[in-house]
Copies of this chain bind each other. A is one copy, B any other.
Amino acid sequence: MEPVKVGICGLGTVGSGTFNVLVRNAQDIERRAGRAIVVEQIGARRDSPQVDLTGINVTRDVFEVARNPDIDVVVELIGGYDVARELVLEAIRHGKHVVTANKALIAVHGNEIFRAAAEQGVIVAFEAAVAGGIPVIKSLREGLGANRIQWVAGIINGTGNYILTHMRDEGRAFEDVLAEAQALGYAEADPTFDVEGIDAAHKLTILASIAYGVPLQFERAYTEGISRITFDDVKQAEALGYIIKHLGISKRTDDGIELRVHPALVPKEQLLANVHGVKNAIEVMGDAVGPTLYYGAGAGAEPTASAVVADLLDVARDMATHHDYRTPYLAFSGIVEGDESLPILPMENIVTAYYLRLLAVDRPGVLARVATILAEQGVSIEALIQKEATEGELVPIIITTHRTREANMNEAIRQLEALADIAGPVTRIRIEHLDENV
């Protein structure tokens, strides 16, 4: 099948990330889409140091991309309202499908853009416009399609959440953390869109429309920022059992729809209260499913690219009319049973950390014997706690280890259980830090 030919407009953070993900994961993406997705042209005012453009057709005029007859899909990543709107409408007029990450554009001009796309029979996809890499539009629009949605509440601006997180953790003032966020590149030189809630209101407007089936009405959103939150408020809230978060909330009531962005006290035990730093999360309440929550990176080059490319996959599948090109059952086409290039590993080969609980007879040298057995198996001890002796003079020993191979741990436990000093079986529970080294 013919590859899908993509034109990327804008080569900033997200444009560079999108190009790099398409190139790096090209093989997997082709298996998922049932056809290749290739970058045919890039329109950008300047090149990007993050991207190797060797062999790529680059133009300085983004409208050239919108009119290029060889291009199937235009990816709009220039941002802003006016030029972006013109570009998207021009691409639609030329029969191109459009993928955009532009929340301001969709929130303000979406109704017009969708009408134009429907007239031309093309697709406009905008997963990346809300909460970066979190597939929340797909989840809300398709995955929760059975439900009457009752409310949506989310942390949908990473900059604001970064500031509130650091105010709380470090007892600092708003202005102080904002300056730091600007220095680190998490906040713009003009932070108004982020800290005054306009960016969040754009995203909430889109979520509300998808939740309830109403037109986009950004102009009716209530927007209140976090610039007046003091550390004293953060402390008082904490004492009352709350954490202050900047939320976008939309709720269906008998009278209509609430659509509001403002700081809020959230009970500490709620998952949303535990979303920290630049991360985003959206909680959705449906009448059938109850509460569900979607968490992840709400911004950044590759997280946003993840959503842009997911939209390209949807467009690629939708362009194909054959059933063979719908989403493969197991996500990838060409899965061969018995192919051992990516085998399921036997448990002996996994690598993880461990918690061990032993009952030892309280006599000299027992710790040394335990430690020696672990050392001989290459198991590195992180912590060892010897408890008070219980009745019968048995002493519980708690050990946590660094990451090691399961086979070595099995052998160590076998030897530990064979020691005369150790009573009964060794309790072994694996420790999973859920960091990059799961």
A345-B256 in contact (CB<8A): yes
Question: Is A183 part of the contact surface with B, judged by Cβ < 8 Å?
Answer: no
Question: Is A95 part of the contact surface with B, judged by Cβ < 8 Å?
Answer: no
Question: Is A431 part of the contact surface with B, judged by Cβ < 8 Å?
Answer: yes
Chain B residue nearest to A284 in the complex (CB)? B296
Question: Is A51 part of the contact surface with B, judged by Cβ < 8 Å?
Answer: no
Question: Is A266 part of the contact surface with B, judged by Cβ < 8 Å?
Answer: yes
B310-A143 in contact (CB<8A): yes
**Stretch of A76-84, A190-198, A241-249, A372-380 with 4 or more beta carbons under 8 angstroms from chain B:** A241-249
A288-B259 in contact (CB<8A): no
Query: Across the interface, which residues of B come within 8 angstroms of A145, CB to CB?
Result: 29, 32-33, 309-310, 313, 331
A: number of interface residues (CB 8 Å): 147
Question: Is A142 part of the contact surface with B, judged by Cβ < 8 Å?
Answer: yes
**Stretch of A1-9, A40-48, A147-155, A172-180 with 4 or more beta carbons under 8 angstroms from chain B:** A147-155
With known contacts A25-B146, A153-B434, A289-B302, A323–B214 Cβ distance under 8 A = no
A28-B213 in contact (CB<8A): yes
Question: Is A188 part of the contact surface with B, judged by Cβ < 8 Å?
Answer: no
**Which of B114, B135, B143, B346 is the one whose CB lies under 8 Å from A329?**
B114
A438-B237 in contact (CB<8A): no
**Which of B215, B326, B331 is the one whose CB lies under 8 Å from A330?**
B215
A272-B434 in contact (CB<8A): yes
Query: Across the interface, which residues of B come within 8 angstroms of A153, CB to CB?
Result: 432, 434, 438
With known contacts A28-B213, A213-B332, A283–B21 Cβ distance under 8 A = no
10 interchain pairs, CB-CB under 8 A? A146-B312, A209-B330, A213-B330, A215-B339, A216-B330, A233-B427, A237-B355, A271-B274, A289-B302, A291-B297
